[in-house]
Amino acid sequence: MKNVMKEMIILGVLVIIANSMMIGCEKTEGEKSQEAGKEKTITGKWKEVDGDQALEFSKHGIVTIIEEEGTRLGGDYELIDENQVKMKFPLFGIIVAEISSSGNEMTLTNPFGKVEKYRKLKQIGRATKSNIAGDYTIVTKMPGEEEFKSPVSATLKEDGTGLSNFSGKWEVNGDQLEFCYSQNQDMTGLGGQITTDILRREPLQRNLRKQRKAKIIERIETGGILWSKYYFTGDRLNASLEIRKDGTFRELWVARDAWRIKDGGVEITIIDENQKEKKLRGEIEGDTIVFQDGETEFRYIKVENVSQQTVVGKYVFEGGIAGEKAEKEPGVFVFNKDGTISYVPSGKRKIETPFIWEIVKEVVQICEDGEILFSDGRVESDDIVFDKFGTTARFMKKD
């Protein structure tokens, strides 16, 4: 909701479009129960899809507009009929808005006709092991720099174990193995110095050794050999690295006693630049655990687990090169329960395609004749997003 405060101050009105909320002036017990259910649907934090602002409704009748820079504007709200909400802000008085929510999406249309989408953030709730356990994406913000999404995806397990998983492309430069991470094309890293059976990682002081049944991927001029599989075993840390002939890699680190609940928050153990362990305590904010390390902020954003029921449905497709305007494909793609994908051109009959979808290790991939076309697809609200090596493909779910 870009510049929503300015627009509301000037116009004194906000029009919000969606569906399914009914209350009346005189309410029976059944109607009150229905209303409570709908208030529960609205309550929570809603994040702008193509922006950085948020809109938050509390169960106590409070509405808050949260600006990009963190500025908060609070007011009161109440539902006044089947599709209207009255918001009252001290700064500019009463605003009557049309509002409706369907699942996890909310669509706002301002008086200028601009349509904006919001998605409801998953709430972690109280700091319990079962609430905290799950999969997370990590966003880092450093002073004076734009926030960036880490190439590492994290998993916190109920037993305190922490998993760090990342993947991308690899290449050999001299005797060095170099990585280009799939989540961010501009982000690179060193896989290590290639020797006959070890990947030397001097900065991390954690060399990876060739696994016993590893196969040769490449012999390099310096005499070293790049193997298909490596491992590391330590007191609290284990790691595995898979190097594939198609130029991709996947690395997994497993840490014991990686996190715990402390004083109503979450405490994690990290390794600092001096290779020493450090404890960071995080506060829970909606679907996010926020950790502060000096002036650097780490946000662990919880993601939904992918299931067949999550994926099955109708989608509109758009894709393109990162940073450029995405192109939409006319028609609708249907992800069927049997793993097939159908295509329905605009105004025409359904066409069966040769594409197959499946869930592999909590991510979605799409294949054709056994060849992977899209991999590492994550579910964001109701969308399936593939972003790898500078291109983005998004399947947007339809109602």
Q: What is the pLDDT of residues 141-191, one digit of tens each?
A: 888 777 777 878 899 999 999 999 888 889 999 999 999 875 445 677 888
Whether 322 shows a pLDDT value over 60: the answer reads no
Give the Cα-Cα-Cα angle 276, 279, 283 (nearest 5 degrees). Answer: 150
Mean pLDDT of 180-208: 79
Residues 201 and 186 both lie in one domain: yes
User: What's the Cα-to-Cα distance from 228 to each of 138, 223, 232, 242, 352, rounded to whole Å?
Assistant: 28, 17, 14, 6, 38
Residues 329 and 221 both lie in one domain: no
Residues 151 and 295 both lie in one domain: yes
Among candidates 289, 290, 342, which has minimal Cα distance to 315?
342
Q: What count of other Cβ atoms lies within 10 Å of the Cβ of residue 251?
A: 20
User: What's the Cα-to-Cα distance from 195 to each of 59, 223, 243, rounded to whole Å?
Assistant: 60, 7, 15
Q: Residue 300: phi, psi to the nearest 5?
A: -90, 110
Residues 299 and 380 both lie in one domain: no
7's enclosing H/E stretch is helix 4-11
Q: What count of other Cβ atoms lies within 10 Å of the Cβ of residue 82?
A: 14
Residues 138 and 230 both lie in one domain: no
Mean pLDDT of 352-357: 88
Boundary residue ending a domain (275, 303, 331) = 303
Residues 194 and 62 both lie in one domain: no
Q: How many domains does the chain have?
A: 4
Tens digit of each residue's pLDDT (9 = 90 or more) over 87-130: 787 776 777 766 654 556 776 654 455 667 777 776 677 788 88
Percent of the chain with pLDDT over 90: 24
CATH number at residue 92: 2.40.128
8's enclosing H/E stretch is helix 4-11
Residues 223 and 235 both lie in one domain: yes
Boundary residue ending a domain (120, 139, 171) = 120
Residues 209 and 94 both lie in one domain: no
In whole angstroms, give the CA distance from residue 231 to residue 315. Answer: 40
Reduced to 3 states, what is the DSSP secondary structure of residue 42? helix
Q: What is the DSSP string of 280-315?
A: EEEEEETTEEEEEETTEEEEEEEEPPP-HHHH-EEE
Radius of gyration, alpha carbons of the chain? 24
Residues 277 and 328 both lie in one domain: no
Residues 115 and 20 both lie in one domain: yes
Residues 27 and 89 both lie in one domain: yes
Q: Are strands 216-219 and 225-227 parallel, antiparallel or unpaired?
A: antiparallel
Residue 8's pLDDT is: 32
Tens digit of each residue's pLDDT (9 = 90 or more) over 224-265: 999 999 999 988 889 999 999 988 898 999 999 999 998 888
Residues 30 and 111 both lie in one domain: yes
Among candidates 249, 169, 239, which has minimal Cα distance to 206?
239
- Domain hosting 360: range is 308-397
